[in-house]
Amino acid sequence: MKNIKFISAKEAVKIVKSNDRVHLHSVAVTPHPLIEALCERGRNKEFRNVRIQHIHTEGPAPYADPELEGIFQLESFFVGANVRKQTQSGYADYIPVFLQETQRLIREGYLKVNVAMIQVSVPDKFGYASLGTSVDATLAAVEKADTVIAIVNPNVPRAFGDAMIHINEIDLFVEDDCELVTAEPGPISETDRKIGRYVAELVEDGATLQMGIGAIPNAVLSMLGNHKDLGVHSEMFADGILPLVDKGVVNGKNKKTDKGKMVATFLMGSKKLYDFIGDNPGVAMQDVKYTNRVNVIAKNPKVTAINSALQIDITGQVCADSIGTRFYSGVGGQIDFLRGASLSKGGKPIIAMPSVTNKGISKIAPILTPGAGVVSTRANIHWLVTEYGAVNLYGRTLQDRAKLIISISHPDHQEELDKAAFERFGPHFHFVWDENDD
């Protein structure tokens, strides 16, 4: 094992030169001291045309500021809240890619990484340190980068799985004890509670869960207290899972891969969540190549994948990355998990969303807004849930789907949606019968 020599962040980022591509560790372990030092050099115009890539970072993202145009160019794999405005105005850019393949872009050389900036836990006596709360495509960047700069931070949890890397893979070391970025679970609204109840009814005992961040997953998890033998194989999880682990509801007993373990590739939550994964052999933080690979996901029984959408049309096309032409998020792992759930024995791919936005706009539309991206196609969608119920579109015709989707739209919008379906499909639409009719 080599001796670690610590240098300052300012010293470490001197390795970056014009035309380099820099990969940033993501979400809670975003390496802010290195970003600040790098941006300081950028403001001093010490280099130009440095491309920045990451899945998504939390906290300030000064490298995406218009004032640094020509110095940095952000090319993210997902549009997070901190770079949304800059992406929508064209200063920052986005690479549409399945989350599973973000690592492939790096490993197979589509994107060359000159410098990877990461945060790791304090190395153990064997020289192993952990990537902590984010492994995602960062492990690939560590493997491929010409130079790896790591902040050794006692606040990074020593998570197991692919998260463990050896310090011999790191070139430059910086010491810092900055806090990781946290997100406390917010209150659950009445609408989210109703959606949560419908989704929870679809979750069977013994299911393997995938869910994203936000109010709906938390609402669902809060209603699973009486379930049995649930497992987790997800791209992420948050605090909502912790009470279910305490109660023994989540025990991974039924899983066919990583039996007894919870699997994710990144986490975002409170300090309690980060402490929970530290030194915990029951959690495997894995490469996104593994967590999001469709055939790995599909090996588990009753995979129940719960994802959300910005808009859906009456035939079942799901937009989850943009509001019209304005990019809001990204493809992420939605398709990876909807497909994996569909192929799993007893699996249930679910899209769950409120029927209207916070401004009262119907999220169910006759046609997608021009420019809206189809993240999941008509053929990918099975269950759709709103606060008005749950419908299964799998194996249903276009006209059946329209009836079912409209039946769980907001009552204020049902008449206009029904009229649009009638105009689209012709008068026969009103003769499509419901199986439940006499």
Residues with a known catalytic role = 235
Which segment (104-112, 181-189, 261-269, 323-331) binds ligand COA by CB under 6 A? 323-331
* Beta carbon of residue 309, minimum distance to ligand COA (angstroms, whole number): 5
Q: How far is the CB of 359 from ligand COA (least distance, A)?
A: 6
Q: Which stretch binds ligand COA (CB under 6 A): 87-95, 194-202, 301-309, 417-425?
A: 301-309
In one letter, which amino acid is 372?
A
Phi, psi of 34 (to 5 degrees): -75, -40
Is 265 near ligand COA (CB under 6 A)? no
Among 162, 198, 422, smallest CA distance to 288 is for 162
Q: Which amino acid is at 9?
A: A
Pair 110, 103: CB distance under 8 Å: no
C-alpha 372/C-alpha 318 separation (Å) is 9
Please choose, out of 11-19, 133-141, 328-336, 413-421, the segment that lies near ligand COA by the rule CB under 6 A.
328-336
Shortest Cβ distance from residue 56 to ligand COA (Å)?
A: 10
Q: Are 317 and 368 in contact (CB under 8 A)?
A: yes
Select the span of 67-75, 88-96, 251-259, 307-315 touching ligand COA (CB under 6 A): 307-315
Residue 294 in tokens: 């469709």
> SS in 3 state form for 398-424?
HHHHHHHHHHCCCHHHHHHHHHHHHHH
* Alpha carbon separation from 379 to 374, 408, 432 (Å, rounded): 12, 20, 21
* Complex with ligand COA: residue 30 or 121, whichever CB lies closer: 30
CB-nearer residue toward ligand COA: 70 or 186: 186
Interface residue with ligand COA among 31, 316, 332, 366 (CB under 6 A) is 332
- Adjacent-strand bridge partners of 232: 209
Q: Which of 224, 232, 244, 310 binds ligand COA (CB under 6 A)?
A: 310
Given the structure tokens 């649930």, which residue do they identify?
230
Which of the ranges 41-49, 126-134, 283-291, 303-311 carries the binding residues for ligand COA, by CB under 6 A?
A: 303-311
**Do residues 390 and 195 touch, judged by C-beta distance below 8 A?**
no
Nearer to ligand COA, 218 or 334 (CB): 334
φ and ψ at residue 274, rounded to 5 degrees: -65, -40
Closest CA to 26 of 90, 92, 80: 80
Contact 23, 138 (CB under 8 A): yes
**CA separation for the pair 330, 307 (Å, rounded):** 13
Record the tokens describing residue 3, joined without a space.
């001796």
Q: What does each C-alpha distance from 364 to 200, 224, 322 come to in angstroms?
A: 22, 28, 15
By the rule CB under 6 A, 28 interacts with ligand COA: no
Print the binding letters for residues 209-238 with ligand COA: x by CB under 6 A, - otherwise. Answer: ---x-x--------------------xx--
**CB closer to ligand COA out of 25 and 363:** 363
Number of residues that bind ligand COA (CB under 6 A): 21
Which positions from 339 to 378 touch ligand COA by CB under 6 A, shown as an x/- string? ------------------xxx-x-x---------------
Minimum distance from residue 407 beta carbon to ligand COA (Å): 19
- For ligand COA, the closer CB: 309 or 402: 309
User: Of the two residues 174 and 309, which places its CB atom closer to ligand COA in the complex?
Assistant: 309
**Separation between Cα atoms, residue 199 and residue 351, nearest integer Å:** 9
Interface pick for ligand COA out of 47, 328, 394, 429 (rule CB under 6 A) = 328
Q: How far is the CB of 235 from ligand COA (least distance, A)?
A: 6
Q: Is 56 in the site for ligand COA (CB under 6 A)?
A: no
Residue 379 within binding range of ligand COA, rule CB under 6 A: no
Q: Give 304's contacts (C-beta < 8 A, 6+ positions apart).
A: 202, 203, 204, 207, 208, 209, 210, 341, 347, 348, 350
Which chain residues interact with ligand COA by CB under 6 A? 212, 214, 235-236, 307-311, 320, 323, 328-329, 332-334, 357-359, 361, 363
